[in-house]
Amino acid sequence: MDAPSDSVAARLSLNPGLQRVPHPKIELFQLKDFVPDHLRAELIRLIDKDRRPSTIADANGDDYFRTSETCDLPRDETAVTELESLLFALNGIDPALGEPVQGQRYDAGQEFKAHTDYFTPGGADYEQYCGETGQRTWTFMVYLNAVEAGGATRFKVVGKTFQPEAGRLLCWNNQRPDGSVNPNTLHHGMKVRKGVKYVITKWYRERPWPW
């Protein structure tokens, strides 16, 4: 069931349209026009239907750390099935290792301050979130729409900022080659200044997800 991170990166590198950020401290890729128009529209509809306030693991006392809205997208929805097929064709990761697809909506003024996607080893909620399925390995994130102003994703450590662009995929390895977590993946979902931002995120684990 495993999908070694180095094999995922190697597979991604075979895609001629996918660009890797040239930095030794991170495996970070982008691909434009990954999700077509009709699929983006349907995913946005699903997010709007079931969105709820976002939460974080290991609460840090900052009530404004993550101010977006979130929903888990039903796996039996046609749009979700189509998206999962696109992801598998690109990354080759066993679908059993994937968490449910999550949708996020950021209204003007909302953000997700600098964070990592992995669960901090030794953190208060580490065993709860990782005891059965293991750590998060890869993140695949897609912008579903363009934003009038703001809403970029900033990887401060490696000096790279990505502007929201409809259909654009970002993906990165949350682990180092030795399997330890990679703090260089620290990223900030910057504040939307004007308009609304829609994003979908797919995380993968070390062991199968208990569907």
Comparing CA positions, the residue from 191, 197, 164 lying closest to residue 64 is: 191
C-alpha distances out from residue 103 to 65, 154, 201, Å: 18, 19, 6
Beta strands in 56-210 (DSSP E): 69-72, 102-106, 112-115, 136-143, 149-150, 153-155, 160-162, 169-173, 187-189, 192-194, 197-205
Burial degree of 180 (CB within 10 A; 0-12, 13-18, 19+): exposed
* Residue 1: per-residue pLDDT: 43
Q: What is the pLDDT of residue 160?
A: 96
Residues of the chain falling short of pLDDT 50: 1-2, 62
What is the reported pLDDT for 55? 64
Write the CATH number of the domain with boundaries 5-205.
Answer: 2.60.120.620
DSSP character string of 172-196: EESB-TTSSB-GGG-EEEPPEEES-
pTM above 0.85, yes or no: yes
Round to whole Å and give the CA distance between 156 and 27. 14
The reported pLDDT for the residue numbered 42 is 98
Evaluate whether 163 touches 150 at the Cβ level (below 8 Å): no
Q: What digits encode the pLDDT tens for the residues 32-59?
A: 999 999 999 999 999 999 888 876 555 5
**How distant, in Å, are the alpha carbons of 60, 80, 105 from that of 174?**
21, 23, 23
pLDDT of residue 46: 97
CA dist., res. 211 & res. 204, Å (int): 13
The rounded distance, in Å, linking the Cα atoms of 73 and 51 is: 10
- Helices marked H in the chain — which ranges? 5-13, 37-50, 78-91, 126-130
